[in-house]
Amino acid sequence: MPYPAAVTRVTAPWQRLLAEAIVDPAELLHVLGLPDSLLPAARRGAALFPLRVPAPYLQRIRPGDAADPLLRQVLPLDLECETRPGFSADPLAESAAQPVPGLLKKYHGRALLIATGACAVHCRYCFRRHFPYADAHAGGSRLEPALAAIAADPNIGEVILSGGDPLTLSDPRLAELAQRLAAIPHIHTLRIHSRLPVVLPQRVNGDLMAWLRRLPLRKVLVLHSNHPAELDAEVDAALAALADAGVTLLNQAVLLRGVNDDADTLATLSERLHRANVLPYYLHLLDRVQGAAHFEVSQTTAEALIDALRARLPGYLVPRLVREIPGEPGKSVIA
């Protein structure tokens, strides 16, 4: 089945592709040839956490397949409306870890800046789906206090840009922020957490490469890819450009029921990432955010999957199975 024009329109500038992302559940179902019977549930789920899918990612979803693992990550469901014990709006207790708005200090030696609340895609399992971005991002007037707090703590050597997705910001804004961080004597590493090179690879352009090459800091980009079908030739080209600019590329995935909870998928993902210059880094157990319980995979199953990966992959392609526990000094390694 050929993709409609709305799905194949992937040659536009990244800003236009970002602006034209599908936000209406009815349009998503129409473009993918899915039945209208899914619409009421999709609308109810989207009322709690809006739908957003850009065209480059949409073109990798199989039309007519309601069980497609990429679709499952973005299609709102009625299940998101259920309240489950043990799931909360702030599963990582981030509200208690902000010395100033938009700056998270949870681990020794590192600080995380919530650079923006915007994302190119809204993943239905997002642990920040309830995050109060309007009051807690380090933009506008909040940037100066956040930078001052980083400068005042000589134990911080690495700053992590997160969000939202920091690569939704313009290159002039990112370049200025990066240079200001580089001017702080004790900062040696800039880490960016982003899904854009996967869901919107057009974002990796000449302007981004230019300021990354100039930046006098060690540069790490942690991608978020959960399934090998998310990686295509355009993503490969974007990742090759980042690697050529001296960026260390790592991937963290989330273990998701119905998406990647089988050894074949996870092994293929690790091998596919490696061919694209990316090392598997973490496989996260689901952060127990309200609205995402239907994605949870048990720890017992997760440990068995890691054992299966160790039996078939070289050690450097086996991600560490981790869970984030509020108050702990780092990620808790399960296997």
Residue 119 is assigned to a ligand binding site: yes
Residue 227 near residue 265 (C-beta atoms within 8 A) = yes
Tell me the C-alpha distance between 80 and 290, whole Å: 8
Residue 190 near residue 217 (C-beta atoms within 8 A) = yes
Largest CA distance in the chain: 58
Residue 126 is assigned to a ligand binding site: yes
Handedness of CA 232, 238, 243, 244 (dihedral sign): positive
b or e along 212-237 (b: 16 or more beta carbons within 10 Å of the residue's beta carbon)?
beebebebbbbbbbbbbbbbbebbbe
Q: How many CA atoms lie within 13 A of 227 on its CB side?
A: 19
Residue 334 near residue 285 (C-beta atoms within 8 A) = yes
Residue 81 is assigned to a ligand binding site: no
Cβ neighbours for 47, distance < 8 A, ≥ 6 positions apart = none
In the annotated binding site for [4Fe-4S] cluster, the residues are: 119, 123, 126
In the annotated binding site, the residues are: 119, 123, 126
